[in-house]
Amino acid sequence: MKLLRYGAPGAELPGLLDAEGRLRSLSDHVADIVGATVTPDAIARLAALDPNRLPLVDGAPRLGPCIGEVGKFICIGLNYADHAAEAGMPIPAEPIVFNKWTSAIVGPNDDVRIPRGSVKTDWEVELGIVIGKTASYVEEQDALDHVAGYCVINDVSEREYQLERGGAWDKGKGCDTFGPLGPWLVTRDEVPDPQNLRLWLDIDGQRMQDGSTSTMIFSVAFIVSYLSRFMSLHPGDVIATGTPPGVGSGKKPEPIFLKGGEIMHLGIDGLGEQRQLVVRHD
């Protein structure tokens, strides 16, 4: 299934995308797509529905973040060896873990705002994991049983705030609008191999990133297992798994950063696409 949320910010309604690419309402069955909606039992109940009997959604409403009420938004840094090389950083021996604040979360096609005073706002297409079953000290071979599904994430980053202003990376990662999620949450049964997905990102039609999850240093299963040693993962938690090379800060001979007015267009095979207008914060 491709689960989604649509409507005005803060008032999104639950839905799904049918086999013909049409939006169908799930409001008669669930109140929202949140942690309680993506547990194994809840997904099984939704999967048993006949999509053709669900009401069609009129028009082309805004798509909201594909999961609501996110408890934790956890990120993995430098998880592609070639991205670590372009950043001039060593390949990590263990996953680098940081957070994006949940207030950064927006819809897949909402505007992305450059923060006041920013000079180094950057892009990062990433595979997102949505947790469906509580995970604590989970073994790697069992880790995918705790995954509800996957989504596209743009891990928008302000490099000066992240790397030059002291403290942890979080400062440059959690600005408002820096976490577009969606367009849909694709349930795990539709993604047989999360380590074989192509992901890409364009700026104003120019291809900047073109990679594959096959080159991840730490796999999805390893990441879920690893994180579960340090915290309980709960249904609805989101994990961003790192980005392939091609970010603006790694461009040669000079870095390229967002100035405002650009269109970011990104996607992952089978998981959909995002498109954001970059605007400056007044």
The pTM of the full predicted model, rounded to 2 decimals, is 0.96
Instruction: State whether residue 147 is helix, strand or coil.
Output: strand
Domain presence at residue 197: yes
Residues 23 and 113 in one domain: no
Residues 82 and 46 in one domain: no
Residues 43 and 86 in one domain: no
Domain presence at residue 172: yes
Separation CA 195–CA 107 (nearest Å): 25
- Give the DSSP letter of residue 80: B
Residues 108 and 227 in one domain: yes
CATH of the domain at 208: 3.90.850.10
Residues 25 and 86 in one domain: no
CB burial of residue 146 (10 Å; 0-12, 13-18, 19+): buried
Looking at the structure of the chain, the number of domains it has is 2
Is residue 125 within 8 A of residue 244, CB to CB? The reply is yes
Give the per-residue pLDDT at 89. 78
Residues 235 and 128 in one domain: yes
Tokens at residue 115, please? 């923060």
Domain presence at residue 269: yes
The whole domain housing 106 covers 73-280
Residues 200 and 118 in one domain: yes
Is residue 43 within 8 A of residue 189, CB to CB? The reply is no
Domain presence at residue 68: no
Is residue 179 within 8 A of residue 73, CB to CB? The reply is yes
Give the per-residue pLDDT at 165. 83
Residues 78 and 49 in one domain: no
Q: How far is CA 94 from CA 76, 84, 100, 240, in A?
A: 10, 13, 19, 16
Separation CA 53–CA 56 (nearest Å): 9
Domain presence at residue 59: no
Is residue 144 within 8 A of residue 224, CB to CB? The reply is yes
Residues 164 and 91 in one domain: yes
* Averaged confidence pLDDT in the chain: 96
Q: What percent of the chain has pLDDT over 90?
A: 90
Mean pLDDT in residue range 147-170 = 91
Q: pLDDT tens, 253-280? A: 999 999 999 999 999 999 999 999 999 9
Domain presence at residue 162: yes
E strands within 60-177? 73-77, 96-99, 105-106, 112-114, 121-122, 125-131, 147-154, 157-158
Q: pLDDT tens, 215-239? A: 999 999 999 999 999 999 999 999 9
Domain presence at residue 9: yes
Residues 30 and 142 in one domain: no
Q: pLDDT tens, 18-69? A: 999 999 999 999 999 999 999 999 999 999 999 999 999 999 999 999 999 9
Residues 222 and 254 in one domain: yes
Domain presence at residue 163: yes
Residues 38 and 147 in one domain: no
Q: Is the pLDDT of residue 171 over 90?
A: no
